[in-house]
Structure 1
Amino acid sequence: MTAPLLALTDIHLTFGGTPLLEGAGFAVGTGERLALVGRNGSGKSTLLKIAAGLVEPDRGERIAQQGITIRYLPQEPDLAGHATVAAFVEAGLGPNDDPHRARQLLQALGLTGDEAPQRLSGGEARRAALARALAPEPDILLLDEPTNHLDLPAIEWLERTLQQSRSALVLISHDRRFLQNLSQATVWLDRGITRRLDQGFAGFESWRDEILEREETERHKLDRRIEAETEWSRQGISARRKRNQGRLRALTSLRETRRSERRAAGMVKMSVSEGELSGKLVIEATNIAKRFGERAVVRDLSLRVQRGDRIGIVGPNGAGKTTLLGLLTGTLAPDTGTVRLGANLQVVTLDQRRAALDPGWTLAQALTDGAGDTVVVGGQRRHVVSYMKDFLFPPEQARTPIGVLSGGERGRLMLARALAAPSNLLVLDEPTNDLDLETLDLLQEMLGDYPGTVLLVSHDRDFLDRVVTSTLAFEGDGRWTEYAGGYSDMLTQRGEPAAAPAKTAKPRSEAAAPRQSTGPKRRLGFKESHALKTLPGRIEKLQAEIAALQAKFADPTLYARDPDGFTRTAAALETARAALAAAEDEWLALELLREEIEG
């Protein structure tokens, strides 16, 4: 077996008296692509810095083959000390690297190289750092949240570039679609140790849930301290994964209803529509337009938003997504056209900048605005510690100062504050930035339960597919088009294929112009596979139960001697027959799906 290019073994590291890594490690071979996943605060970024040689562990071994090149992309690139972006990128080149490739990558990422680093936005700094990491075509790329602050065209370009690269890859990302399309193996960092799955991220979540479910069945063997600290989070992850399947089915139904409404809209007179929509209309924009100087941001847009709609807004950076939100919510006036808002709107906004909080406040004070130890959620008072758990904060963090929270923890805190406020219209501008996968599951579940309306700006394709009922997409030159369904539905209606997962490394090549490739193959999820195995047994039990109940009815004296028993038996028989019909329908639907996938 070929020796790995880089291996970390039995890595231990403690910060401030609390062990962060307790025997973690991984190995990466030539051309191999690993997804490194785990909760925010689990130590993923620290482990990647150890792999890059930037942090020394307390104990353990880092072995890198002699002569290999490694490039590391941090979450927050530092361009200080360089006069231009080009100088920053070229400073990362080796003596035999091609400087022309650095310029080509910068141009492909929308930069000239002449920009002053101190004037770059977060997204531009991320692009410059990506060019620096990619330009030398290293043996190993260590990428920490490379898609943060990138727009969709840049994310898809980066996917294609990495698919064409022969560099080995260790990748941390909250973007499910990005991980699915690039990874060949998955390393899970959990409670200080690592486990490896020799499959890409597409197989990770069901594998993780199986492990967590096995741990739950053996919980009586665990130390009470471990049980108290981890039980709530492990149960939450597993339960949410199961409930999310129901959310997706409900979302499919919503989308079908949405498509039907779109087809019928042209046949309904406006006066009838207004009567039918009384109390349901949230926003009605009619032929609105907005320009800044010579640039058209919105041109002749008409849109009707009804209660319960969840609309995703997508487009490249600079397209005007935030401006469009302002127009639709009435905080910005259009140059022409009208925007009519529904009655009694209560709007809560979570913007990209994340409203500043007093860094001296504790987490509990931030949630209660410094008043007491309860927070009002949905009209009901809850203890702040109970509400914190909903957002995966353990009780001991209640007195943690906000200033020491990680980016992901701050993102969760802002979500907790926003979602606690009374609202019937949520306006979320890039809510998924810095959130880990479990928190994205939580946010998806909450939006699935939310009875109001959602306007969502996001570059997370998987999150859009899971949450929204329609997608408002930028078409260029200030024009926006609404498509029924999520991001993948939009691509289908445009006639564009989705990005495909990479299975093997491809030859090195120069930066290419954006293009699309084929979509990932549908697979049965863990719950679906489990249901296929267990439903036949459940059907047999229900059939036996029905036969036993029918045998009771065969007694002609049952009603005369036991009227209450007769009624109970009749009710039980009706319930069992309904359960049997539902189980048979579910098994048939899953069997048809299995045959379609395997066929």
Structure 2
Amino acid sequence: MNYLSVENISKSFGERVLFENISFGINKDQKIAFIAKNGTGKTTIMNIINGIDEPDSGKVVMRKEIKMAFLSQVPDLQDELTIEESIFASDNPILKVIEEYEQALENPADEEAYQRAFDKMDQFNAWDFETQFKQILFKLKLEDFKLKVKSLSGGQKKRLSLAIILINRPDLLILDEPTNHLDLEMIEWLESYFAKENITLFMVTHDRFFLERVCNEIIELDNGKLYQYKGNYSYYLEKKEQRITSENASIDKAQNLFVKELDWMRRQPKARTTKSKSRQDDFYVIKEKAQSRRKENQVELEINMERMGSKVIEMHKLVKKFKDKVILDSFSYDFQRGERVGIIGKNGTGKSTFLNLLTGTIAPDAGKVVTGDTIKIGYYTQSGINPKPGQKVIDIIKEYGEYIPLMKGRTISAGQLLERFLFDRKKQHDYVEKLSGGELKRLYLCTVLIQNPNFLILDEPTNDLDIVTLNVLENFLLDYPGCLIVVSHDRYFMDKIVDHLFIFRGEGQIEDFPGNYSDFRSYEDSIEPTKKELNSVNTEKNSWKQQQVQSGLSFAEQKEFQKTEREIKDLEFEKSNIEKQFADASIADADIEKKASELQAIIKKLEAKEERWFELSAKMEG
């Protein structure tokens, strides 16, 4: 069944043609990845499909009854809503039933309203649905339902948008870089979820493990033409290589024929016969084919690395805390020449803080970092490039000099260097704010490498880079003779270029693992799951409905049990907020006594609620 058809769409911006006469379809149960180089119109095509943008020509036709959802790179959420309110804001009828039930739990005196809500939960089979969406929120680390959208980080907003889409289960899901801002644990869960669910997907992603394990078809926009491959990423690589080899062989054959036909054309008499006229027409077809060899235009990376002495960087008993949160606890390490380290860990475990300590951006609470005299650090951060207003692409590079030194005493002009990074002469004079996300990253990478570092730090370098540029960067890094530290959620990238890993476990725990990411994953999977993992989500084994039916609680006690759980969460949240205020040195002396009284009252209520919860829980288990 066809869900959506893209029919002969074209798009230009001024004189720049992004694409012309592009056509393809999306059918039920297809899981399609869309691959193209940065700046060739991937995001524009996504926006056209979703009605955010209009094509210059052509159209998009969607089956009327199909429900479609779009996860963009910039989440569309209402700042004043909480996480819970954002989820219930959709028009999903089952979510409305669950919301009504949640509200009934807040008012235990109205038994009739509770019974109605309880019956509706049965009628709509909402118990299992509630279990599923609680699991999704847990996996995406969105457990504090009371947080407002405006207080969330960019990564949390992306995860909330993803959660809302997954909970509503659309027929067709359009995803623009779904793995950005997710840690490795979340990426692997999402990968598994998409691989097993009967859901139709159309996505742009640079995550090649994701492409390999989730997608069953790949559409590539290459040199203005569309190519379709019925398989995963490995199949795509194999068939693309065959296609290019075949195309080049056909072009070589046409070039040989072109030389012969050109000689014939030059010897042709002025008198034209019907036969010679036909041959002349064929000549121009052969000429076009002969001159159609692919323009690979790959990024060319080169570095004149500074000489490195015997001392690299030494970290001696480093300690770093933010209030009660421990990042490093007496950590020591001596980096060696040519070392290649990958850093992985959940968001918030201190990976970026570690890099800032290493580079001297922030100071440790105790211990010291000793950097060798010959070490020159190149630091590619997540914050990226910060252009001045009205600054052009060429101006960014000229800040480092009109001419840039290369290996063996050679130099290159700023313009020539930008051409190596795929910024043609016209693009070099564009304003920086006009660049796409991938182009900005490519320009930023250029500014880091032209400083010729011998100790290179890359913090999430793969976000927004296209697969072609990623392959070039990987090959460059494989030959890079200096020290390399990489923080990345791109497992394919990590496997290819690092020799060992620092695993950030949180609470100051850092493990040095001797292998790449796939080695680490195999090791972790071989270990028996911990008790915490087994019990992390109570609802993963039993739905709320089953727990209530099997319990020994009365009708009123069931209501009380549900309500008590909610009240405990709210009280814990209030307690945490007041404790944070005490940790803030700016709190006024006049408020200290008042806040202390409030805290004591909350603790007393919390203890009473917890005691009652244990009583009901014991009765339920009995």
For each residue in 1:219-266, what CA deviation from the matched residue of structure 2 results, as whole angstroms up to 9, or x when unmatched? 7567599869x6242xx38x99xxxxxxxxxxxxxxxxxxxxxxxxxx
The answer to whether the 8 A contact 1:312-1:468 is kept is yes
The answer to whether the 8 A contact 2:177-2:206 is kept is yes
The answer to whether the 8 A contact 1:283-1:339 is kept is yes
Q: TM-score, normalised by structure 1?
A: 0.70
Displacement after TM superposition at 1:170 (Å): 0.7
Give SS of 1:50's match: helix
2:164 maps to what in 1?
132
Paired residue for 1:161, among 193, 201, 210? 193
Paired residue for 1:446, among 447, 458, 476? 476
Q: Counterparts of 2:167 and 2:493 in 1: how far apart (Å)?
A: 31
1:544 maps to what in 2?
none
Gaps of 5+ in 1: 241-277, 498-509, 514-599
Q: 1:512 to 1:177 in 2, by over 3 A?
A: farther
1:181 maps to what in 2?
213
Paired residue for 1:116, among 142, 148, 160? 148
Return the letter of the residue paired with 2:84: A
Q: TM-score, normalised by structure 2?
A: 0.68
Return the letter of the residue paired with 1:206: E
For each residue in 1:434-456, what CA deviation from the matched residue of structure 2 results, as whole angstroms up to 9, or x when unmatched? 11111111211221222211111
Q: Counterparts of 1:226 and 1:173 in 2: how far apart (Å)?
A: 33
Displacement after TM superposition at 1:323 (Å): 1.3
Give SS of 1:124's match: helix
The answer to whether the 8 A contact 1:31-1:167 is kept is yes
Displacement after TM superposition at 1:207 (Å): 2.5
Return the letter of the residue paired with 1:475: R
2:397 maps to what in 1?
367
How large is the Cα RMSD of the aligned pairs? 2.9
Paired residue for 1:95, among 93, 96, 106? 93
Identity %: 33
Q: Counterparts of 1:290 and 1:474 in 2: how far apart (Å)?
A: 14
Give SS of 2:502's match: strand
Residue 190 (structure 1) aligned with residue 222 (structure 2): yes
Moved more, 30-39 or 287-296: 287-296
Residue 390 (structure 1) aligned with residue 420 (structure 2): yes
Q: 1:398 to 1:115 in 2, by over 3 A?
A: same
The answer to whether the 8 A contact 1:12-1:24 is kept is yes
Paired residue for 1:427, among 436, 457, 477? 457
The answer to whether the 8 A contact 1:86-1:103 is kept is no
For each residue in 1:87-122, what CA deviation from the matched residue of structure 2 results, as whole angstroms up to 9, or x when unmatched? 333334433556545555333311223322222212
2:231 maps to what in 1?
199
Q: Counterparts of 1:512 and 1:460 in 2: how far apart (Å)?
A: 28
2:8 maps to what in 1?
10
Q: Counterparts of 2:379 and 2:291 in 1: how far apart (Å)?
A: 38
2:295 maps to what in 1?
231
Q: Counterparts of 1:23 and 1:88 in 2: how far apart (Å)?
A: 39
Moved more, 481-490 or 385-394: 385-394
Between the two proteins, the alignment pairs up a number of residues equal to: 457
Q: 1:474 to 1:332 in 2, by over 3 A?
A: same
Displacement after TM superposition at 1:470 (Å): 1.3
Q: Counterparts of 1:16 and 1:395 in 2: how far apart (Å)?
A: 17
The answer to whether the 8 A contact 1:35-1:186 is kept is yes
For each residue in 1:379-426, what CA deviation from the matched residue of structure 2 results, as whole angstroms up to 9, or x when unmatched? 632123332233222333121111100111000000001000021111
Displacement after TM superposition at 1:179 (Å): 1.4
Q: 1:113 to 1:61 in 2, by over 3 A?
A: same
The answer to whether the 8 A contact 1:329-1:341 is kept is no
The answer to whether the 8 A contact 1:377-1:421 is kept is no
Paired residue for 1:455, among 477, 485, 500? 485
2:379 maps to what in 1?
349
Displacement after TM superposition at 1:495 (Å): 4.7
For each residue in 1:187-246, what CA deviation from the matched residue of structure 2 results, as whole angstroms up to 9, or x when unmatched? 112233321100112222332233334444427567599869x6242xx38x99xxxxxx
The answer to whether the 8 A contact 1:365-1:371 is kept is no
Displacement after TM superposition at 1:146 (Å): 0.8
Q: 1:226 to 1:53 in 2, by over 3 A?
A: farther
Write out aligned runs for 1:36-51 (5 A): 36-51=34-49
1:106 maps to what in 2?
137
Return the letter of the residue paired with 1:57: P
The answer to whether the 8 A contact 1:11-1:25 is kept is yes
Larger radius of gyration: 2
For each residue in 1:533-556, what CA deviation from the matched residue of structure 2 results, as whole angstroms up to 9, or x when unmatched? xxxxxxxxxxxxxxxxxxxxxxxx
1:376 maps to what in 2?
405
Q: Counterparts of 1:511 and 1:368 in 2: how far apart (Å)?
A: 58
Q: Counterparts of 1:360 and 1:328 in 2: how far apart (Å)?
A: 33
Q: Counterparts of 1:89 and 1:102 in 2: how far apart (Å)?
A: 10
Residue 56 (structure 1) aligned with residue 120 (structure 2): no
The answer to whether the 8 A contact 1:429-1:457 is kept is yes
The answer to whether the 8 A contact 1:89-1:102 is kept is no
Return the letter of the residue paired with 1:25: S
Displacement after TM superposition at 1:184 (Å): 0.5
